Amino acid sequence: MRDSLCLVAKKIVAIWASLVLMFCMVDTVSAEVEPAPSSLKVDVSLGAWISTGDTRWSHNASSVSPLGNPTSKLTYTDHTANITEITVKVSTRSRWFGRLNFGYADIGGGRLTDDDFLAQDGGNPSLRTHSDIKNSSMFYVNVEGGGRILTYPNGRGALDAVVGFQYWHEEHKAYGVRQVSCSGAGSTVDLGGGAFLCPVGSVGASTLAITNVTSWYSLRTGVETEYRLTRWLGIHGAAILKPLSIFENQDTHHLRLNVFQSPSFTMYGIGMGADADAGLKLYVMKNLTVDLGYRVWWNRMLDGTWKNHPVGGGSQTYPLTQFQSLRHGATFGLTLTF
């Protein structure tokens, strides 16, 4: 699987490099026909994204009796992050631009719901526990380039094509374990050696139970637009498709390090996703604008594998049946133009 991911990663880099080269070649041809002004415009933005997130995954090891399908499902919900981001955009006065965007935040809260399934319960959770998410963080980097494909009448705005690359990384730390429910099968079905799925008891809220680290590497392509309604007010929006993404996910179960290594479980695969932004732009001064809007980022798995890492070796690999990351929320920004 790692070799396949490496090949896919090389293809993504090759595609992205080809697209950038294409833009450069087209810009060169355009310059020969219609010489563009040599001056550049630089936009520097400081922004905030008041967001909430949701990350979930599950795997199928039902080939091993008495496990069910799915075998385990972990859902990280309502993990809030007040993200600070910096964006630098360099544009030619004609039609081309390049942009670098970086964001970082501590993740302030949320809940992990951990469901385990036995075949006897027919798809219903045999054991459910809750843990609290805290002391976590995230960051992302977007590198993009693009060009104008349409200018609106009377200089009111434009429609631009965009192509680029996104790295999106989140780390969740789940503390404590509270048993919410346990089925009859969870209490009576022997998992081997007289072990049962539950009851598991409770673990104090200050004890680190699970560390989850998720990374997405995505190719981005789409369009963005800006339209000036009045002298002081405009609207803006972006619709971005992520046709190919590579993800990796690591789970470390700190309470089971006598059984599993660190990381305890690893997941790899390919997927796709989409990003969208929409909002208002206030032209406060000639070179200063204020942006208000809403943003959604979403990635999901197309194919993936789950692998465990026992202390004594002898890892097993099973199909990953679900993997998804979602983040959305209100945005605010100040942009200074030079």
Whether 134 and 119 have beta carbons less than 8 Å apart is answered as: no
On the question of pLDDT at 116 being above 60, the answer is yes
Closest CA to 320 of 301, 334, 335, 305: 305
pLDDT at position 64 is 95
| Average per-residue pLDDT for the chain | 90
Q: What is the largest CA-CA distance in the chain?
A: 80
pLDDT at position 195 is 87
Long-range pairs of 63-67 with CB within 8 A, sequence gap ≥ 24: 63/318, 65/119, 66/118, 66/119, 66/120, 66/185, 66/189, 66/191, 67/117, 67/118, 67/119
**14/6 Cα distance (integer angstroms):** 12
pLDDT at position 31 is 35
**Any idea what DSSP says for residue 66?**
T
- Tell me the pLDDT tens digit for each residue of 247-300: 999 999 999 999 999 999 999 999 999 999 999 999 999 899 999 999 999 999
3-state class (DSSP) for residue 29: helix
Query: Binning pLDDT at 50, 70 and 90, where does residue 94 land?
Result: confident
pTM to 2 decimal places? 0.87
Domain positions in the chain are 2-337
Closest CA to 316 of 300, 329, 305: 305
pLDDT at position 300 is 98
Closest CA to 234 of 245, 226, 243: 226
Closest CA to 220 of 297, 157, 148, 293: 297
- Tell me the pLDDT tens digit for each residue of 120-159: 999 999 999 999 999 999 999 999 999 999 999 998 999 9
Which runs of E-coded beta strand occur in the chain? 40-59, 67-92, 96-107, 111-118, 127-133, 136-151, 157-182, 203-228, 233-253, 260-285, 288-310, 317-337
- Tell me the pLDDT tens digit for each residue of 211-222: 999 999 999 999
Query: Binning pLDDT at 50, 70 and 90, where does residue 200 land?
Result: low
pLDDT at position 160 is 98
- Tell me the pLDDT tens digit for each residue of 34-89: 344 448 999 999 999 999 999 999 999 999 999 999 999 999 999 999 999 999 99
**Class level of CATH domain 2-337:** mainly beta
